[in-house]
């Protein structure tokens, strides 16, 4: 889900994918896979495979892999065959497997878990949840792959982009600069785990699906917001960084991406536990691990996004506007980043 967060937090990426003409094309890109996914659902239903969770997830993932490659090529404004020939195998595999297959499986599990929370359980009523899982997953994959292809196109045209939604920069941060994030994430994970454990003792409702959803939204949202401010203002203390923003700005980030993606990761985990592992009511220690782990992941993502935004603002402050579209400058910046 990091690519989705980066697309809406990094200003350069946000501007690239919210232009009016691009949004119109994106709506068309999303509708077509949704219609095909409905036909796929009808085919699965004809042989009763939609009732098998493994078959459903595999169908969703495989179909979305093809959707991701096609939407990515359309975003690049290049024929599909040419994109396959021009891009290296690693990029193609990342688009097909990460943005296509794995992302679709995650979204399908999220949809099933959300419907279970709304008392529309896949186990009891497989038709509706299976259909929605296939359609929503494929449409979301098409949207994100199309946006990523468009960003690649702009990069090739010379627009300097510090943050790219491919996870490479995050991997560089995780493997090369553990001194910047490890302690923060560890403290956040332990603190959130202890808070949730205390809440389960004081309020039994925290051990229910709805109770954990509420708790994890608040705790993960707060963790993501604090980490983002720390990454955005590395020279300031956390409180000093927070004081630079109004409560409305902080609340906006807390709600999205903080709370929203806290809920998203919880629902994915709940879907995997409930449907893949067949544990509809997990014990407290499992809920504790899910809550603390989700907060830890969003703390890492928040810090990375804050640091990326800081790097982007530093770059645009240091480079004259007349040079921002220079393809030679873009190549130099990309080589320095590598």
**Per-residue confidence (pLDDT) for residue 327, from 0 to 100:** 38
Residue 107 has pLDDT above 80, yes or no: yes
- Residue (of 32, 37, 68, 210) closest to 130 by Cα position: 37
34-54 pLDDT per residue, tens = 999 999 999 999 999 999 999
Residue 159 has pLDDT above 80, yes or no: no
315 exposed, middle or buried (CB, 10 Å; 0-12, 13-18, 19+)? middle
Residue 318 has pLDDT above 50, yes or no: no
Better-scored residue on pLDDT, 318 or 266: 266
pLDDT-derived band at 154, boundaries 50, 70, 90: confident
Rounded average pLDDT over 223-242: 91
**Per-residue confidence (pLDDT) for residue 337, from 0 to 100:** 42
Give percent above pLDDT 70 in the chain: 93
pLDDT-derived band at 267, boundaries 50, 70, 90: very high
Residue 317 has pLDDT above 70, yes or no: no
Better-scored residue on pLDDT, 262 or 158: 262
**Per-residue confidence (pLDDT) for residue 178, from 0 to 100:** 87
- Residue (of 15, 267, 321) closest to 117 by Cα position: 267
What residue segments make up the domains of the chain, in order of their start?
2-156, 168-319
Instruction: Provide the phi-psi class of 246: left if phi over 0, else alpha when psi is between -120 and 50, else beta.
Output: beta
**Per-residue confidence (pLDDT) for residue 336, from 0 to 100:** 41
Residue 311 has pLDDT above 60, yes or no: yes
163-217 pLDDT per residue, tens = 777 778 888 888 888 888 899 999 999 999 999 999 999 999 999 999 999 999 9
- Residue (of 223, 211, 228) closest to 284 by Cα position: 211
What tokens were used for 331?
């190549």
Instruction: Provide the phi-psi class of 167: left if phi over 0, else alpha when psi is between -120 and 50, else beta.
Output: left
**Per-residue confidence (pLDDT) for residue 161, from 0 to 100:** 73
Rounded average pLDDT over 251-255: 92
Residue 329 has pLDDT above 50, yes or no: no
Rounded average pLDDT over 277-296: 95
What tokens were used for 285?
């220690």
Residue 85 has pLDDT above 60, yes or no: yes
Cβ atoms of 262 and 110 closer than 8 Å = no
- Residue (of 225, 226, 223) closest to 238 by Cα position: 226
Rounded average pLDDT over 105-114: 97
DSSP summary character for residue 51: G
* Least confident piece of the model among 43-47, 59-63, 308-312, 318-322: 318-322
Integer Cα distance of 5 and 110 in angstroms: 17
**Per-residue confidence (pLDDT) for residue 272, from 0 to 100:** 96
**Per-residue confidence (pLDDT) for residue 316, from 0 to 100:** 62
């Amino acid at each position: 889900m990091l690519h989705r967060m980066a697309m809406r937090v990094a200003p350069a990426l946000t501007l690239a994918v919210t232009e009016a003409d691009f949004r119109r094309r994106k709506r068309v890109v999303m509708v077509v896979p949704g219609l095909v996914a409905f036909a796929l659902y009808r085919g699965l239903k004809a042989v009763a495979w939609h009732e098998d969770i493994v078959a459903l997830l595999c169908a969703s993932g495989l179909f979305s892999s093809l959707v991701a490659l096609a939407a990515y090529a359309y975003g690049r404004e290049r024929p599909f065959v040419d994109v396959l020939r021009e891009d290296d195998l690693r990029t193609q595999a990342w688009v097909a497997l990460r943005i296509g297959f794995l992302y679709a499986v995650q979204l399908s599990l999220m949809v099933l878990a959300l419907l279970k929370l709304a008392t529309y359980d896949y186990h009891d009523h497989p038709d509706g949840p299976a259909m929605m899982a296939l359609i929503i997953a494929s449409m979301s994959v098409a949207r994100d792959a199309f946006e990523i292809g468009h960003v690649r196109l702009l990069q090739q045209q010379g627009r300097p982009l510090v943050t790219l939604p491919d996870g490479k920069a995050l991997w560089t941060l995780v493997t090369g600069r553990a001194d910047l994030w490890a302690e923060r994430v560890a403290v956040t994970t332990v603190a959130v785990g202890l808070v949730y454990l205390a809440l389960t003792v004081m309020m039994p409702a925290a051990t229910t699906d709805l109770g954990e959803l509420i708790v994890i939204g608040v705790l993960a949202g707060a963790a993501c917001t604090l980490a983002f401010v720390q990454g955005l203002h590395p020279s300031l203390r956390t409180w000093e960084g927070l004081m630079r923003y109004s409560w409305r700005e902080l609340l906006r980030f807390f709600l999205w991406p903080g709370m929203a993606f806290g809920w998203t990761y919880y629902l994915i985990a709940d879907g995997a536990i409930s449907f893949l592992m067949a544990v509809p009511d997990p014990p407290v220690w499992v809920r504790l691990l899910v809550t603390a782990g989700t907060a830890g992941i969003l703390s890492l993502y928040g810090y990375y996004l804050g640091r990326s935004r800081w790097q982007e603002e530093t770059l645009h402050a240091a480079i004259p506007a007349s040079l921002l579209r220079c393809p030679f400058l873009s190549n130099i910046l990309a080589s320095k980043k590598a």
